[in-house]
Chains A and B, each alone.
Chain A
Amino acid sequence: MQLTAIGTVAVTLMLLGAFLFIRTTLADLGNGMLQQIEISVYVDSNATPHEIAALRASFRADPRIASVAFIPKSEGLKELRDRTRGVIDTSLLTENPLPDKFRVRVHDPALVPAVAADLRRLTGVGNVVYGQQVVQRLLRLGDVLRRVGMALIALFLVVAGIIISNTTRIAVYARRREIGIMQLVGATNIYIRMPFICEGLVVGLIGAAAAVVLLVAARETLWPRMLEALPFVQFNVTTVDVPRLVLQLFLVGGIIGATAAWFAVGRYLQT
């Protein structure tokens, strides 16, 4: 019975921990991408150096554009190599497939679609690519995940509370004789409650410990594989405050355990 309670707390807190971890990571990712948002203007492979110079001049003239950087195809390949090092073997390439490109930054991310559309009409421009849609979807996904996650966790917390309080009630019932005698000889309710609340607290803390162990294991095994599977996404894991997260889980575990036990014994003592 105690194992059931511990298991429920562990699963609940693991969900909570994973959720908080993913939320922080996603939020960082979204913010980072929004700030880094840029328009890649790929130069048509047939463009002459004169046309390229003209493009650069027209970018400079556009007041909406904050900065322009010209990335020749050789440098573009080097960047690609750096970013995919150890994942994709670029040494197999016999020639550079990349076109030259301009990296264009806009003052206001909201203007990106309009600027991109204008740039596409210029002569010598092959393709215009920007990642705003991806970013917006990511942020929206994060929002949905947050709501669904919160609802799910709230539900699990309630279930964990009910299971702990049921476990406590069974323990109280098993010791009702002893409790009756305690009350008879003048034990205070706090004194009677304390062992059960400690038990609930311990169940909550053990559940939290189990959740932390599972989360650490998941981070050690699953997380690197996820990074591997998404090499182009630059997750910034370091911003997750791990000690604080662990502390939060223990806090939530302890509170849910002690509170559920408190109410379970309280209901018995009132009658």
Chain B
Amino acid sequence: MISLRGVSLVYPNGVRALDQVSLEIAKGEFVFLVGHSGTGKSSLLRLLYREAPPTSGEITVDGIRVDRLPRRRVPALRRHLGVVFQDFKLLPDKTVWENVAFAMQVTGAPTKEIMRQVPRALDLVGLSHRSRMYPDELSGGEQQRTAIARALVNNPKILLCDEPTGNLDPANTTEIVDLLLRINLKGTTVVVATHNQAVVDRMRRRVVRLENGKIVTDKERGYYYLGLGQGQVLSG
């Protein structure tokens, strides 16, 4: 579903954000990207939704060669992806309903389709009763659920989350992570960049650890620290 081969990203200021990263993520997987701030987690996600092109290497997302994607084809790629951020990125002057519907409107979806998909997405995140409220009337968790509903309303095969719980308290964090898990169980491939140790350690999913732009560990059912997998012992 997602494939990176020898991907490097060097910013114009010379900073090497990613260095020869290779990674395969299968359909329906749930993957944590962990590591300190500035180790390249966000950069990696940004490459996947083509916010920036890689300096070198091959990136394939859902069969699309993202590294070779011309600018005019980027919108088509984005419609196959849902993206969720730490700061929610909701429009403050639109209601919950309108924020979710917005993602369909910009793709030119017919009103009938919007009327059918928006309630479905809101129901999935448990916000049907909040649909007429504005973002600043919601809790942080509810805002993030709105953002997730927006990311899912176009039925993407992949959900990318960049520190989705970074602004949330533990109770809301649990709520969001459980929601992501439910979404994953419905078949959506989920990639979560986080530095929340409790979440990673509780979930016990695949953990890919980045350090200085390189993948240092990649373990199934891993823990946050050093990405240790089940039955492995900390060494060196």
Task: Give the interface of A toward B (CB within 8 A).
Answer: 177-178, 180-189, 191-192
Contacts and interface: CB of A to CB of B under 8 A. Distances in A.
Contacts, number: 43
A183 B75 CA distance: 7
Given A177-B91, A189-B72, A184 B107 contact: no
Interface of B: 49, 72, 74-79, 83, 89, 91, 102-103, 106-108, 150, 154
A215 to B, nearest CB: 40
Given A177-B91, A178-B91, A180-B89, A185 B102 contact: yes
Contacts of A177: 89, 91
A185 B83 CA distance: 8
B72 A184 contact: no
Closest 8 CB pairs of A and B: A187-B106, A186-B78, A186-B79, A185-B103, A186-B75, A188-B75, A182-B106, A181-B89
A196 to B, nearest CB: 15
Contact of B78 (A178, A185, A191, A192): A185
A185 B106 contact: yes
Given A181-B102, A182-B106, A187 B91 contact: no
Nearest to B77: A186
A185 B154 contact: yes
Contacts of B106: 182, 185-187, 191-192
A78 to B, nearest CB: 76
10 contacts: A178-B91, A182-B102, A184-B49, A184-B89, A185-B78, A185-B102, A185-B154, A187-B106, A187-B107, A188-B72
Contacts of B74: 183
A258 B169 CA distance: 48
B67 to A, nearest CB: 19
A185 B82 CA distance: 7
A132 B79 CA distance: 74
Contacts of B103: 185-186
A183 B89 CA distance: 12
A188 B72 CA distance: 8
Contact of A191 (B76, B79, B108, B154): B108
A30 B89 CA distance: 67
Q: Quick one: which of A180, A184, A188 has the most chain B CB within 10 A?
A: A184
B163 to A, nearest CB: 15
A186 B74 CA distance: 7
Contacts of B154: 185-186
A185 B91 contact: no
Q: Quick one: which of B76, B106, B108, B150 has the most chain A CB within 10 A?
A: B106
Contacts of A187: 75, 106-107
B107 A185 contact: yes
B90 to A, nearest CB: 8
Contacts of A183: 74-75, 78
B4 to A, nearest CB: 21
Contacts of A189: 72, 75
Given A184-B49, A184-B89, A189-B75, 16 more contacts: A181-B102, A183-B78, A184-B83, A185-B78, A185-B102, A185-B106, A185-B107, A185-B150, A185-B154, A186-B75, A186-B76, A186-B78, A186-B103, A186-B107, A186-B154, A191-B108
Contacts of B78: 183-186
Contacts of B83: 184
A205 B198 CA distance: 60
Contacts of A185: 78-79, 102-103, 106-107, 150, 154
Q: Quick one: which of A177, A185, A187, A192 has the most chain B CB within 10 A?
A: A185
A181 B101 CA distance: 13
Contacts of A184: 49, 78, 83, 89
Nearest to B103: A185
A8 B66 CA distance: 45
B23 to A, nearest CB: 22
B75 to A, nearest CB: 4
Contacts of B77: 186
Contacts of A192: 106
A181 B107 CA distance: 12
